[in-house]
Amino acid sequence: MQMRLSRAARIILVGAPGVGKGTQTKRLLEKFPQLTAISSGDLLRENVREQTPLGIKAKSVMRSGKLVPDTLMLRLIHHELSTRGFLSRTHSPFILSSTSLSDPLSATSFVDPYPPPNTPETPSPSPSSSFILDGFPRTARQASRLDSTVDMNLVVNITTPLPALLARIQSRWVHAPSGRVYNTTFNAPRVEGLDDVTGEKLTRRDDDETGVYLERLKRFTETNEPLLEHYRRKDVLWTVEGETSDEITPKLVEEVVRRFG
Ligand code: AP5
Ligand code: MG
């Protein structure tokens, strides 16, 4: 049954790689039609696939399991939030033209995309301006820069015992053009190796190879506690635990209804 929000929900999903951020995002979108979502990983993979200048730079970073530089991520997300109309200021404090993205990682093209913290934009209170950020921010620096742009009002920290995560990643298959995710043990495609909708071949994500996954996990372990502490101090952090996504979804839906229903 679909449900309606009566106030704007601006939700961040935080958690280890493979914890189910993408899975929970998809389920929340189905449950609450007023929500939309921005996945930093999907956005980056789209740029890699389309071989944009940004994608070309990000590709090797992602393939090694490291984090894409904050400056680049901030621009990418700010651009996405503005394009979708989630920031009230019509005049952006920085110019994000295709030329400014043409060499986003070079030192000479560095322009801090964020206004000083004393000029936050007022987000729309309308429930139709509700959105989820999946995978962004993931460093405390990204979080404090986001604060000066838009005030997020719920940060969901998803936790699952680590041994379950690697097993999930090893059985994850994706349909790259659409971003549809399958798992041979959890939501297998109807025909093995093929996308349910297009019948095209499924592939593995480049960064799901075990060595790269362990590197991603290491980055997560290094950056996550300062990130959680940032939101704990702002009193918007809520933690949910579960062995499986099915266990987590009803708790998450209940919390969203409690806060925004
Ligand atoms: P990103 O794409 O965000 O990857 P991630 O955080 O490592 O997380 P995943 O997408 O792997 O997992 P998920 O939590 O979404 O889990 P899912 O639902 O798919 O980032 C990729 C890279 O981009 C980063 O390494 C970095 O380089 C860069 N990047 C992105 N954002 C950045 C940022 N802000 N700053 C800097 N760099 C950034 O579930 C996983 C699997 O489990 C699926 O196969 C699913 O089907 C399966 N599953 C789900 N539930 C169950 C269940 N109950 N039982 C069994 N399997 C299940
Ligand atoms: Mg994901």
DSSP 10-26: EEEEE-STTSSHHHHHH
* Sign (positive or negative) of CA dihedral 258, 78, 60, 43: positive
Q: Average pLDDT, whole number, for the chain?
A: 87
Residue 91's pLDDT is 40
d(CA 73, CA 58): 10
Residue 109's pLDDT is 40
Atom of ligand 1 nearest to the CA of 24: 18
What pTM does this model have? Answer: 0.88
Query: Cα(199) to centroid of ligand 1, in Å?
Result: 24
Atom of ligand 1 nearest to the CA of 171: 44
Residue 111's pLDDT is 44
d(CA 211, CA 24): 25
Q: Residue 105: CB within 6 Å of ligand 1?
A: no
Residue 186's pLDDT is 86
Q: Residue 128: CB within 6 Å of ligand 1?
A: no
Q: What is the mean pLDDT of residues 10-33?
A: 96
Distance of CA 126 to the CA centre of its chain: 22
Task: Dump the DSSP string for 60-111.
Answer: HHHHTTPPPPHHHHHHHHHHHHHHTT-S--SS-SS---TTTTSSTTSGGG--
Nearest CA to 212 among 13, 17, 15? 17
Which residue is closest in CA terms to ligand 1's atom 23? Answer: 41
Q: What is the mean pLDDT of residues 7-21?
A: 96
Helices (H) and strands (E) in the chain, counts: 8, 7
| Residue 219 backbone phi and psi in degrees, to 5 | -60, -40
How far lies 226's CA from each of 72, 112, 222, in Å?
A: 20, 22, 8
Residue 93's pLDDT is 42
Interval 98-153: pLDDT, tens? 334 444 444 334 344 444 444 556 677 788 889 999 999 999 999 999 998 899 99
Best substitution site from 12, 29, 39, 44 to test ligand 1's pocket, by max atoms within 8 Å of Cβ? 44
Q: What is the mean pLDDT of residues 41-54?
A: 93
Interval 232-255: pLDDT, tens? 999 999 999 998 899 999 999 999
Nearest CA to 47 among 97, 101, 84, 96? 101
d(CA 17, CA 168): 10
Neighbours of ion ligand 2 (CB under 5 A): 22, 41
Indicate the DSSP class of residue 247.
H
